[in-house]
Structure 1
Amino acid sequence: MNRPIQHNADLAARDLSVVWHPCTQMKDHESLPMIPIRRGEGIWLEDFEGNRYMDAISSWWVNLFGHCNPHINAALTEQLNTLEHTLLAGFTHPAAIELAEKLVSVTPPGLDRCFFADNGSSAIEVALKMSFHYWLNQGEPGRTKFITLENSYHGETLGALAVGNVELYRDTYGPLLMETIRVPSPDCFLREQGESCADYSRRAFSHMENALEKHAGVVCAVIVEPLVQCAGSMRMYDPVYLSLLREACDRHNVHLIADEIAVGFGRTGTLFACEQAGISPDFMCLSKGLTGGYLPLSTVLTRDVVYQAFYDDYEKLSAFLHSHSYTGNALACRAALATLEIFSGQDVIGQNHELARYMANATAHFQEHPNVAEVRQTGMILAIELVKDRKTREPYAWQERRGLKVYRHGLECGVLLRPLGNVVYFMPPYVISKDEIDTLARVAWEGILKAVTD
């Protein structure tokens, strides 16, 4: 049967009549085009009129090895013909078992148990509840607080929002959120002129040390995004902060939760960001790149000592209380296994180091632009901070939406750049070529020139 030819305008109109999109002021689409996507291949997305868009942000940081990756496609096809899903309460299946085994083997030492959830926010909820419930089972019900970093983001369910510190969210949903203990971020953008990132991160740790000394007896855990606060304008800090934090959490008998949802799976130059500090957290939250950008899945890895605190006779009512209907979905687990197979079969990390160096060189000249305060990079994440005045670092007013102008220019040139406010960033799939990086840098440069002169 022949299907009718579909056009961008028709699909956009249908969409806008029924769909409410995430992180979007829908009124913007009175002037901003909605782009229906027909297919994807590699780092490219294609609309219904043949226009192609380089996916420079990995479709919100999830895609690692390109759209419609042949290896992941084949694995999913095989799984689809075997088992699509079964409940994970009282039942199990090979994909979930193999994935848990693989994750235990590749994550930092001591993370021996794997609890599956559906998405990044859910993983954060699991880790928060698990830490609290651990202390409850240990006879310490007074531990109810979490220490978080300013400028952090951990998701948008209520628990995840509570331990995040994006002011817009807190201003809006504050009455619904539990109270947390916030300490200044080790964000190296704030360092003094001539001060190294390591020295600043070390100096900033005094705030965390003071908070732990003061509140350790009522704190369940400290939660951080290792090395990069992604939604917080891609602000970055040195691994020394994580080393100091691990030691302090041990000394004060407080859990450490590492939110590697955005920074895991090779984004920062190592498979997991915590590796650069040589530490193992008590809980590691993973999602996004876990399935290569194919299907929603997350996991919380934790230590066996935490698992044992819940392991008891039913009558004790000490079991962990959390579930999702699609926990450990077979298709998602198989996509994750196929993703990890690519890591084990190729020198992905080594290739990423080369691509990261090329991105740095391709954007080196951005450093001299009078409206660029900083070009910062950690592995395959590169960010360009636009400001009104380079010398004073005076920011543009957020109402001017300078980043939106870069986004519009990118779409006109076939590049998907979705800045975070006035921060333009690159977080491409790992299959990007050097020629494509050159194109990305050129379009971003042109977009920045337009954004700061209009």
Structure 2
Amino acid sequence: MTPQEQTSHWIAQDLAHCWHPFNPQSIWGQESEILMIEQGEGVWLTDSLGRKYIDGNSSIWVNIHGHSHPRLIDAMKAQLDKIAHSSFLGFGHGLASELAARLVSYFPENTLTRVFFSDDGSTALESALKLAFQSSIQTPGKERRRRFIAFSNCYHGDTMGAASLGGVGTFFEKFRGFGMEVSHVRSMDDLRALDEETCAQTCGIVIEPIIQGVNRMTPWPEGMLRELRDWCDSRGILLIFDEVMTGFGRTGHLFACMKEGIIPDFLCCAKGLTGGYTPMAAVLTTETVYNAFLGAPTEGKTFYYGHSFTAHPIGCAAAMASLDIFEQERTLEQLPPKIRLIDELSQQLLHTNPFISAVRATGMILGIDLCRENGSPFTPEERAGEKACVAMRPHGLLTRPVVHDTVVLMPPLCITEDELRLAFNALDAGIRDAFTSC
């Protein structure tokens, strides 16, 4: 088959059999071409017709060091030569031991000391919620603590427990009433205004530290994490940081919470844990939480939760290699000039492109709000973000919106300054192409 024939064949099979997440299937493939991504190298993706694009959203926020990084590939291949997978239910393996020790080593001694592995961001949050819930009801004096607090417009995953925290109606309204009991607040002022009975029944509060992702990439006020930590400590409430998006350099720090030096009771990570090369997640927690599960088997304190691919050896190998790359390639030290360039170029975009109403940059994360040329907002039905992203493709950039009118740029950390300029040129041109005739 020619590349065009092969691509057409794959698209036909996709339309006949595949079901894509977060996409209206009734219009899938009708309003824009279905791209078949075939290869990747560095920040570049190549489709089945040979066209190249900058990976502007890190393949849904997971890729850290770029595609086809030789160290990551070699580590995974070397592990395959030994064993692909073995159960972590009743057995262990050296890579999981080393990875757990390495993850906790990034935090002060005697803070986060234990690691519970799972599969992805949703299951990391699910694990943290269940650990917080069960540890509370197994701790004398905390038996009534069976609720959670989350923030408005939050997104913490799609499994039922994690989804019950969700603050975005589009994703979660149909599932209200299932999962955890949750109170939503918008700010620290709302949190302080909660009645004492609600606080007394709350076992944990969940937040994406420094910046809230699906909520238009909106940063939190500086110093908020310290206030939140103090508030939780004064009420005996466990603090859960969702670092699924923000972890592994996205904010300029290995973990976002390090920006303000705040240590949670649970830290959930996934996406970039393996450099984005294979699914894997981890929850870091404290010895105090761990001790709440200790006791004779007859006491029923065991945490009966886990997954078939918990501590997957190939994932552990990739994660160790990714952390090696951070150190050996000095990844974090290379970020400040790129972060400054993103700030500079995003401000230029704001002031020169009439279809942009706001930009919000935090580290290597950028949210861009779209508007009509007269400044009025688009309606959700117009799906402005989708149209803009499709229009960026001919200019060599692939990315996706969050909500209907906010476009995200979150490239792999290895992107060069020249590649960043190319990405911003594509953002500018694609947005203009999408709306100039509106």
Q: Give the TM-score normalised by structure 2.
A: 0.95
Unaligned runs of 5+ in 1: 185-203
**Do the aligned residues in 2 keep the contact of 1:221 with 1:256 (CA within 8 Å)?**
yes
In the alignment, does 2:369 pair up with 1:385? yes
Partner Cα separation in structure 1 for residue 129 and residue 306 of structure 2:
14
CA distance in 1, matches of 2:394, 2:26: 20
The answer to which of 59-68 and 170-179 deviates more is 170-179
Letter in 2 for 1:275: M
Deviations 1:134-193 (A, max 9, x none): 111113332111000001000011111111101112322224344311101xxxxxxxxx
1-structure distance, mates of 2:384, 2:434: 5
Distance in 2 between the 1:348 and 1:303 partners?
28
Partner of 1:405: 387
Task: Give the secondary-structure state (helix, strand or coil) at the position aligned to 1:383.
Answer: strand
Structure 2 CA distance for aligned equivalents of residues 389 and 205 of structure 1: 35
List aligned pairs for 1:157-236, cutoff 5 A: 157-184=159-186, 204-211=187-194, 213-236=196-219
**Matched-pair contact (CA < 8 Å) for 1:228–1:263:** yes
314 and 262 in structure 1: CA distance in 2 versus 1, 3 angstrom threshold = same
Q: Give me the whole-angstrom Cα distance separating, in 1, the residues matched to 2:174 and 2:378.
A: 23
Instruction: Describe the superposition over 1:86-132 as per-residue Cα deviations: whole angstroms up to 9, x where unpaired.
Output: 10122111111111011010145500000000111001111001011
User: Structure 2: which amino acid aligns with 1:13?
Assistant: A
Q: CA deviation at 1:452?
A: 3.4
Please identify, of 416-425 and 63-72, the stretch whose mean Cα deviation from structure 2 is larger.
Answer: 416-425
Task: State the distance in 2 between where 1:178 and 1:132 align.
Answer: 9
1:288 aligns with 2:271: yes
Q: What code does the residue aligned with 1:41 have?
A: E
Partner of 1:51: 51
Aligned to 2:148: 146
Q: Is 1:434 matched up with 2:436?
A: no
> 2:92 aligns to what SS in structure 1?
coil
Task: Kindly provide the amino acid, as one letter, of the partner of residue 14 in structure 1.
Answer: Q
TM superposition shift of 1:44:
1.1
Q: Distance in 2 between matches of 1:282 and 1:379?
A: 24
Quick one: structure 1 residues 227 and 270, their matched pair in 2 at CA, closer, same or farther if it must change by over 3 Å?
same
The secondary structure found in structure 1 opposite 2:203 is: strand
Identify the residue that residue 137 of structure 1 maps to in structure 2: 138
How far did 1:414 drift? 2.1
| C-alpha contact (below 8 Å) 1:373/1:390 kept by paired residues | no
After TM superposition, the structure 1 stretch with the greater mean CA deviation from structure 2, 423-432 or 169-178, is: 169-178
- Matches of 2:36 and 2:405, distance apart in 1: 26
Higher alpha-carbon deviation: 101-110 or 440-449: 101-110
Contact 2:242–2:268 (Cα < 8 Å) also in 1: yes
d(CA) in 2 for partners of 1:340 and 1:372?
37
Which structure 2 residues correspond to residues 350-429 of structure 1 after superposition, within 5 A?
A: 350-368=333-351, 369-388=353-372, 394-420=376-402, 421-429=404-412
Give the distance between the partners of 1:384 and 1:292, measured in 2 at CA: 25
Q: Where does 1:310-389 land on structure 2 (aligned, <5 Å)? A: 310-368=293-351, 369-388=353-372
User: How many Å separate the matches in 2 of 1:147 and 1:390?
Assistant: 39
Contact 1:7 1:49 in 2 (8 A): no
Asked if the contact 1:84/1:330 (under 8 Å) is kept, the reply is: yes
| TM-score for both structures, normalised by structure 1 | 0.91
Q: Map 1:233-312; keep pairs closer than 5 Å.
A: 233-312=216-295
Question: Cα 1:37–1:84, aligned 2, differ >3 Å: closer, same or farther?
Answer: same
Report the residue type matching 1:174 in the other structure. Answer: R
Of 110-119 and 3-12, the range deviating more from structure 2 = 3-12
Q: CA deviation at 1:30?
A: 2.0
> Which residue in 2 is equivalent to 1:19?
18
Structure 2 counterpart of 1:10 = 9
Q: Is the 8 A contact 2:137 2:146 kept in 1?
A: no
The 2-side partners of 1:275 and 1:416 are apart by 30
Q: What secondary structure sits across from 2:184 in the alignment?
A: strand
- The separation in 2 between residues aligned to 1:214 and 1:352, in whole angstroms, is 45
SS in 1 for 2:112: coil
C-alpha separation in 2, matches of 1:442 and 1:125: 40
Once the 2 structures are TM-superposed, how far is the Cα of residue 46 of structure 1 from its aligned partner? 1.0
**Alignment CA distance shift 1:214-1:446 (3 Å):** farther
Where does residue 76 of structure 1 map in the other structure? 76
Whole-Å separation in 1 of the counterparts to 2:131 and 2:239: 12
Q: Which amino acid aligns with 1:135?
A: S
Alignment RMSD:
1.7
Range that drifts further, 207-216 or 394-403: 207-216
Q: Secondary structure at the match of 2:401?
A: coil
Structure 2, unmatched stretches of 5+, are: none
SS of 2:144 mapped into structure 1: coil
